[in-house]
Amino acid sequence: MTSTADRKGAPSYTSENYSSAKYKVVGTRPIRHDGLDKVTGRAKYGADVSMSGLLHGKLLRSPHAHAKILSIDTSEALKLEGVKAVVTSQDLPIVADQLIDLAEVMANPRVMAENILAGAKVLYKGHAIAAVAAMSPHVAEEAVGRIKVEYEVLPPLLDVREAMKDDAPLLHDGLTTRNTAERFGKGTDTGVKSNIASHIQFKRGDVEQGFKDAHVIVEREYNTKGVHQGYLEPQSSTVNWAPDGHITVWTSTQGHFGVRAQTAAVLAVPEHMVKVVPMEIGGGFGGKIPVYLDPVCALLSKKTGKPVKIVLTRKEVFEGTGPTSGTFMRVKFGADKNGLITAVELFLAYEAGAFPGSPVGAGANTSLAPYKIDNLLIDGYDVTVNKPKVQAYRAPGSPQAAFAVETALDVLADELGMDPMDLRLKNASKEGDRQPSGVPLPSVGCVEVEQAMKEHDHYKTPLKGPNRGRGVAMGYWGNGGMQSSATLTVNSNGTVAVVTGSVDIGGTRPAVAMQAAEVLGISAEDMRPSVGDTDSVGWTGVTGGSRTAFSTGIAAITAAEDIKDRMIARAALVWEVKPEDVSFRDGVFTNGKNSEERLTFKELAGKLMATGGPISASAASNPRQVGPGVCGNIVDVEVDPDTGKVTILRYTVVEDVGQAAHPSYVEGQMQGGAVQGIGWALNEEYFFTDDGAMQNSSFLDYRMPTSLDLPMIDTVLVEVPNPGHPFGLRGVGEVSIVPPMAAISNAISHALGVRVDRLPMSPGVILEAMEAGKGGK
């Protein structure tokens, strides 16, 4: 284990799990290959695209949260000088219902089309209706203001529990509830018309008996608000629809192969007619998996014969993209005198937004996965409401449910008079224990992480002072696998080009290239990693699901093994021996028949043209054993009793990372997830009027954490190797956002002696809780 606190010197202590010493490149901290471009302003992001003849687009968005569209009149917009084209949903082909797997979420192209440009109805304020292409963004904006839309305004449904009622007005006339027992399963159609798109249920053991056996029962209700991914770079797209039908898309996305599939499906063109060029991406967190703009730009380009670019404003990002689900949740824990959990009931109602597809299934499975529970009943509901359609947000679905579960567990520890870490260790899941879904856990680091937390200096140091409290919480995320492709080419000077299909959001170029370098016995600096477009590298899933360093890493390792074998064959040619007579170690080829004869990787690379030509190798990954992630937080807070403001005093993130490829960027994922969680816990929320209008659609009013709000975020990297990866890597990106809300809630309650049952725990909410606490307890 290593801690950032000790990073300047040697790690303060080393556990036997800390295996970086085993590797020469993996586990080191080289400078990232794309760093220079990104610190000098040369890196090209989606909005930086320009080309000759470029037109600029703007979208018209609904001012109503729920309304029928009676008519759209674009004639005045088209009369404006400089306006070249207008498109509406009439320009989209009607596509049939089908499901596309986008890794973190399933998507239906028909629904995507309706979300991209509204047809008969608008379902949230900000729902796009029409788009204009013009000579400049200013002209396009002016033209958008000239489009006349007649609406029949309908009452909006904004509360998840109201929307679930039998007599609630319906968002979608044709929507019926499906019963499903697996996350991506289609389930059986109940035929019941409802705003509830699906009901997922996990059931095990005898819950009734479990509660009868309990010594202590804790039952609590929780509410959370929708929050946005908050990436700093607004969505953008530039598309050219060539006269021969080929469509080229330049965009900022987490997965260009997904953009290709979605764009082709929505436009009803064959996938091979769409080429997607991934630009650098300014953050995604799940929110840049779905397409919003690419099909619209394509239609405008087709109409005008010119490339068309649209860049969203921040207000449009808030109102028209993301966010994640607001929720209502109920949890009931039973435990015996020793703290062994005897039964759990969990009720989860997640807002899907305007169209079905909340991540409630993941919430249902992951929040209780860190614990071995024999008797459980989990019900999850995916509910449509008149808000933007929710999208994946870092460990989608898990943070909300974990807020409920981990806060209730803390109440349980209080009632049992037990140390909260002891309670968790007592019930900790191990490999082979079944998750709520029934699937047994693979190698998992619950015990190791919890042990590391309990033994950490932060946990052992008493917290003193008034209005201060400490909280802990755990998080679990299954992580993604999916397929990736990589192509490696040996340059004549012994450097190696690495082309993958994984866009690099947070340092995956070095993380992947370092794994190939480890195999080839060369340095990280000898690798030249880049991201290929959809025509120049094999199919690769999204950068999401914490899968990239893991799965694309496996593709790169496999290709590097192939390179190694081919290089060995060349060395054999040079020495006129058989390949099996050549050994390869630490970047040096040695002739087994004459150990005086040696060639470094670089020396042999210089001989490739004379021994049969250049060497390159491609490989794809299809990992079977994905290593789940476990993360725990320890946090100290101080609450100002007069204002209700919460200050974070100290924060420690402990995570099982399997094997850190590049520890600095692993720490960065842990710190970044923790701070997004701090924002979710204390400040961030979609604040709606009764009419369904978001009132805080700017960074001034949607308050994300700033540097001033935070201390340093200490990290502890626990390394329980994942047997499903050659070097033991696990996904590290997402799980860090799961524990913060509960950890902070628990810390606040220990500071005040009052429980807070909703998010965000903003100053007003804290003051209310304190007031209620005075009367109640």
Partner 1 sequence: MVRKVHIHTNINDGDVEFLCEERQSLLEVLRDVVGLTGTKEGCNDGNCGACSVILDGRLVDSCLVLGVEAEGKEITTIEGIASVDGLHPIQQAFLEEAALQCGICTPGFIVAAKALLDREPEADEARIRHWLAGNLCRCTGYDKIIRAVMKAGETVQGGAR
Q: Where does 439-552 have alpha helices with state H?
A: 446-455, 457-460, 508-520
Identity of the residue, 418 or 717, whose beta carbon is nearer to partner 1 in the bound complex: 717
Q: Is residue 52 part of the contact set for partner 1 (CB under 8 A)?
A: no
Identity of the residue, 42 or 212, whose beta carbon is nearer to partner 1 in the bound complex: 42
Q: Is residue 43 part of the contact set for partner 1 (CB under 8 A)?
A: yes
Rg over alpha carbons for the chain, rounded to the nearest Å, is 27
Q: Yes or no: say if 409 and 420 are a contact pair by the CB < 8 Å rule.
A: yes
Identify each DSSP E strand in 496-541 by its residue range.
496-500, 527-531
Q: Taking the complex as a whole, how short is the minimal distance between the CB of residue 371 and partner 1, in angstroms? A: 28
**Which one of 36, 70, 242, 609 is in contact with partner 1 (CB under 8 A)?**
36
Q: Yes or no: say if 547 and 541 are a contact pair by the CB < 8 Å rule.
A: yes
Q: Is residue 674 part of the contact set for partner 1 (CB under 8 A)?
A: yes
Q: Is residue 739 part of the contact set for partner 1 (CB under 8 A)?
A: no
Q: Taking the complex as a whole, how short is the minimal distance between the CB of residue 281 and partner 1, in angstroms? A: 6
Return the bridge partners of 647, or none. Answer: 638
φ, ψ of residue 446 in degrees (nearest 5): -55, -55
Q: Taking the complex as a whole, how short is the minimal distance between the CB of residue 697 and partner 1, in angstroms? A: 10
Return the bridge partners of 58, or none. Answer: 132
Q: Is residue 638 part of the contact set for partner 1 (CB under 8 A)?
A: no
φ, ψ of residue 514 in degrees (nearest 5): -65, -30
Q: Is residue 712 part of the contact set for partner 1 (CB under 8 A)?
A: yes
The tokens for 175 are 């929507």
Identity of the residue, 36 or 772, whose beta carbon is nearer to partner 1 in the bound complex: 36
Q: Is residue 695 part of the contact set for partner 1 (CB under 8 A)?
A: no
**Which one of 3, 32, 445, 499 is in contact with partner 1 (CB under 8 A)?**
32
Q: Is residue 685 part of the contact set for partner 1 (CB under 8 A)?
A: no
Task: Give the DSSP H/E element, type plus range, for residue 88.
Answer: strand 83-88
Q: Is residue 71 part of the contact set for partner 1 (CB under 8 A)?
A: no
**Which one of 507, 553, 658, 731 is in contact with partner 1 (CB under 8 A)?**
507
The tokens for 330 are 């109920």
Q: Taking the complex as a whole, how short is the minimal distance between the CB of residue 305 and partner 1, in angstroms? A: 22
Q: Report the alpha-carbon distance of residue 755 to residue 747 in Å, rounded.
A: 10
The residue range among 45-53, 204-212, 416-424, 608-616 that interacts with partner 1, by the rule CB under 8 A, is: 45-53
Q: Is residue 44 part of the contact set for partner 1 (CB under 8 A)?
A: yes
Q: Taking the complex as a whole, how short is the minimal distance between the CB of residue 258 and partner 1, in angstroms? A: 18
Strand order, beta sheet including 67-73: 121-122, 67-73, 148-153
Q: Report the alpha-carbon distance of residue 652 to residue 667 in Å, rounded.
A: 11
Q: Is residue 51 part of the contact set for partner 1 (CB under 8 A)?
A: no
Of 525, 553, 712, nearest to 35 by C-alpha is 525
The residue range among 330-338, 339-347, 350-358, 502-510 that interacts with partner 1, by the rule CB under 8 A, is: 502-510
**Which one of 690, 707, 774, 776 is in contact with partner 1 (CB under 8 A)?**
707
Q: Is residue 319 part of the contact set for partner 1 (CB under 8 A)?
A: no
Interface of this chain with partner 1, residues 208 to 247, rule: CB under 8 A: 229-234
Chain centre to alpha carbon of residue 173? 32
DSSP string covering 213-233, please? T-SEEEEEEEEE-------SS
The tokens for 216 are 């202590």
Q: Taking the complex as a whole, how short is the minimal distance between the CB of residue 82 and partner 1, in angstroms? A: 8
Q: Taking the complex as a whole, how short is the minimal distance between the CB of residue 324 and partner 1, in angstroms? A: 14
Q: Taking the complex as a whole, how short is the minimal distance between the CB of residue 43 and partner 1, in angstroms? A: 6
Interface of this chain with partner 1, residues 654 to 673, rule: CB under 8 A: 662, 664-665, 667-669, 671-673
Q: Taking the complex as a whole, how short is the minimal distance between the CB of residue 616 and partner 1, in angstroms? A: 29
**Is the Cα dihedral 210, 216, 221, 227 positive or negative?**
negative
Q: Report the alpha-carbon distance of residue 451 to residue 641 in Å, rounded.
A: 34
Q: Is residue 699 part of the contact set for partner 1 (CB under 8 A)?
A: yes
Intra-chain end-to-end CA distance of the chain, in Å = 42
- Whether the link from the prior residue into 760 is cis, omega within 30° of 0, is yes
Return the bridge partners of 178, or none. Answer: 189, 198
Contact residues toward partner 1 (CB under 8 A) are: 4, 29, 31-32, 34-36, 38-45, 47-48, 50, 138, 229-234, 280-285, 311, 313-314, 505-507, 662, 664-665, 667-669, 671-676, 698-700, 704-708, 710, 712-713
